[in-house]
Structure 1
């Protein structure tokens, strides 16, 4: 069920029409006495009319709701238009004279109805601004947890199988060693028994020879033979050689249970900790944000009006510059709220300053020359941690928390959408690169990696931004190959820009309110200006405008261009639209 539809006010329509007969102008006002919508002209006439000049005419949103007409059941000719304060019963004016209500206090039912309608609108506002979006945020968070659990459990299964395979290999190795030992024992016993067998064979041969000799003594052919035989020692039989039974090995099978085997492997255990309640923003915060959103909508309308009158100026003018302590160069700029800016150099220093050059905080990161930080719609700074493959968040109270894990992918560049708060991250894994889109709660919703021919779109997306039409614009560079790669919001490749000459090396990139794409070129030390479709318009900034070695660019809410350079910690601001 769509809550927002079910809560649609009963008077919602495309536009409101004045209630005066034959007037079809848009309604802006409302007469609470006549319960009639009025345009501005009819309001003036209504207040000039003698009969209605004392009527209460208010802006339409502040109107009182018309009380439904209902006849009294006791006095059918009378309308129910009062509320008995004591009995809390609606009744007509005639009922007030009955003895049941004698001495009671009565209130105009229309006033009560208006108050109740006002309370209903307050509750509807709470539901729309807090309860419904907070519930939807929790659903998204739960969906993210489901995805993370599936990934974690898959990893655990893979680890278990790998561990089991390792144990199997160890068992095979040990078994093979034991079998070799059995073979050696068998060989040794066989050699011993073979020796004993040879002894017996030799003894049998001796006995056979002795039998022949003794037979010769029985029929002596001469006296000498007889004399030899009569000697007792020649009639003695040698004893049978001693042999021994081998001691045979005994195999005792290992006594292992399923539990013993389980102990050899890793254990899966759920920590005995109390689950944390999911964080919910308070209603006060939501209502403040609602007011802020209203303010932002007004600002957006003003910007849209400004956009219709803006165009490229005939000249570029420097309007101010800022010195950023704590960095040696300016490789990326993120403009914060409340007059602050974040600047990073090429050795991992990330510094926040105010516009007077006062350093507010400084952190050490694993970032280098990429556009690795951005300010969200909520005013938080988020930045990539290449080493740990995560995206961190710094809240206004300077707390650093882990926001998004990128798995096997190394996050390089990042941009928070000014359109819908989505987070775009340029990533790399080995020789593969992609752009991943997350919603503002950190749930992955899109991956952009290949064109419609299956070819990789990116080599190394080291700066990233979004254009006013939702195009994702990437400053892509690796091994001497570079291009501005632009895809539409669905991820389809639109165009690639590779510069105006034979040499072109990209760094910082941004877009402006007119849809221009601005990108730094290291080779020519200029800022290229392209239109929304990738057509080259001009070299917007060169050394003639006081810029040398530009590396980072961004456009502020006043449509000024901020430029950071490699050789200095000074940020220069230029006006190029009029």
Structure 2
């Protein structure tokens, strides 16, 4: 039966029936039987080091050390007092139980520790994926260098073959010339020592008329000059430059965020407002889905631009909009212009708002990424070297930056930086070494960590967080020209197609779900899309400075 009681004398757990029988027994009727939670904890049995046959079951109050009964004989003479160690142990256990309850070990520390453990396990998985992605990229780089080495080697061998053919042709000509000379000498010998043929009588007659015999000199020949092969001057560092290198960012690891412990009163007595917020959040998460139709909610006019090529939503109801000629304008929702910057940007998604509310934008000409803080201070944030930064996106969960970049003679790439500007990962090729991007015009990140790129020529290219290619989407027709791209809280991918004047809706695995917006709904030349915190879709078109907001989730 279930244990409900405990005998502190026998150190036995018992049910209600067992307790009653224990009390009736003459030998145990005087034992102390208590509810199980109030039991005295049995001290661990430990033998005395001086008297190995005896257990240490007493505590000397003066010395504060455990002793056996034999040890007390020496200390009694000094007036020391001894207490039953079991009683002291029980008191301490009771005291610490209160401390444990006070500090919410089971309700706070243990659950939070389990959460940290899960987070560490997730980090382990993520690190393994990232490292595998790095290994794959390294192998692809090595294969590329190998192909380059093979090409250069074949060119060199072909050059050697041509030089060899020319030298042998010269030597063969010289050899033939010597053969002809030897034949000439043989004919001369035959003329004077042999029986001349009738055809040579004439030559002999001419020779006899001469005062002396003239012999042609040996033909001049030259020794060929072979080519010299100069071995390439290279070392391990040169090869490492070709293949790239892995570096560990000199950035201090961030401490994991531990949620603060709430007081017991807060945990036990949430306010009605808190209860309502929890219910509403839970209900929204459970029931949010695609609407059967798309509804136009409102429109905003953005002064200072002649088209809406890219939108970045900021805090406090503010938005940034850019057009094709480098105008980057910040407005409020009433259409008031708050700030205007002249940039080198064109039709790409070259600006984004961070989780801190800063605007970050790319400068293709100077090859830098700039930051604008809420107090309107513009600072140079990241230098991109020889690469032109095109598109950029800030992920609001961890602050990472994704930057699409191009460079003459190099495959385009997407680089991930952390929020301090330290380079983390370059994504350039798939696991077969094929180039992923042509012109990464717009970029975003999905709720599952996928990097989604709108490439004007390659379509929608999606890789996972470590950079492994997941899928590419090239539209529903033969022509597909994607521009703006974004994702929502359900993991949907939304992308503009300027060729068919539509907005395509995909799931997070690249499956086409629907044409969310078309010409029939008044859409024309869609260039930019984004989703706000209320799950509304914002759409910009390049022939007007109006931003239209749609509701498509319910």
Q: TM-score, normalised by structure 2?
A: 0.51
1:361 and 2:339 are equivalent in the alignment: yes
Could you say what the CA RMSD is over the residues aligned between the two structures, in angstroms?
A: 4.4
Partner of 1:165: none
Partner of 2:452: 473
The alpha-carbon deviation at position 455 of structure 1 amounts to 1.1
1:349 and 2:327 are equivalent in the alignment: yes
1:426 and 2:414 are equivalent in the alignment: no
Residue from 384, 388, 407 that aligns with 1:406: 384
SS across alignment from 1:571: strand
Q: In structure 2, do the counterparts of structure 1 residues 576 and 395 end up closer, same or farther at CA, with 3 Å as the change threshold?
A: same
Residue from 551, 561, 571 that aligns with 2:547: 571
Contact 1:307-1:514 at 8 Å conserved across structures: no
The alpha-carbon deviation at position 514 of structure 1 amounts to 1.1
Residues 273-352 of structure 1 mapped to structure 2, 5 A cutoff:
306-352=284-330
Residue from 459, 462, 467 that aligns with 1:491: 467
Partner of 1:7: none
1:452 and 2:431 are equivalent in the alignment: yes
Contact 1:517-1:531 at 8 Å conserved across structures: yes
SS across alignment from 2:406: strand
The alpha-carbon deviation at position 419 of structure 1 amounts to 2.9
SS across alignment from 1:568: coil
Q: In structure 2, do the counterparts of structure 1 residues 511 and 304 end up closer, same or farther at CA, with 3 Å as the change threshold?
A: farther
Residue from 491, 509, 513 that aligns with 2:489: 513
SS across alignment from 1:501: coil
Separation of aligned partners in 2, 1:471 and 1:428: 21
Separation of aligned partners in 2, 1:472 and 1:343: 23
The alpha-carbon deviation at position 430 of structure 1 amounts to 1.0
Separation of aligned partners in 2, 1:301 and 1:471: 30
SS across alignment from 2:391: strand
SS across alignment from 2:291: strand
Contact 1:334-1:343 at 8 Å conserved across structures: yes
Residue from 349, 357, 375 that aligns with 1:397: 375
Q: In structure 2, do the counterparts of structure 1 residues 359 and 72 end up closer, same or farther at CA, with 3 Å as the change threshold?
A: farther
Misfit runs of 4+, over 3 Å: 71-76, 298-305
Separation of aligned partners in 1, 2:382 and 2:543: 33
The alpha-carbon deviation at position 418 of structure 1 amounts to 2.6
The alpha-carbon deviation at position 304 of structure 1 amounts to 7.0
Separation of aligned partners in 2, 1:409 and 1:430: 9
Q: Residue deviations 1:282-337, cap 9 Å, x none? A: xxxx99x999xxxxxx9999767533311111100011111111111100000001
Q: TM-score, normalised by structure 1?
A: 0.49
Separation of aligned partners in 2, 1:299 and 1:360: 34
Partner of 2:507: 531
Contact 2:437-2:458 at 8 Å conserved across structures: no
The alpha-carbon deviation at position 73 of structure 1 amounts to 6.1
The alpha-carbon deviation at position 546 of structure 1 amounts to 2.6
Partner of 2:518: 542
Residues 93-172 of structure 1 mapped to structure 2, 5 A cutoff:
none
The alpha-carbon deviation at position 504 of structure 1 amounts to 1.2
Residue from 416, 425, 440 that aligns with 1:437: 416
Separation of aligned partners in 2, 1:536 and 1:420: 29
Separation of aligned partners in 1, 2:441 and 2:261: 35
Partner of 1:239: none
Separation of aligned partners in 2, 1:364 and 1:383: 11
Q: Residue deviations 1:529-556, cap 9 Å, x none? A: 1111111111101122232211100001
Q: Residue deviations 1:503-545, cap 9 Å, x none? A: 1111100011111111111111110111111111111011222
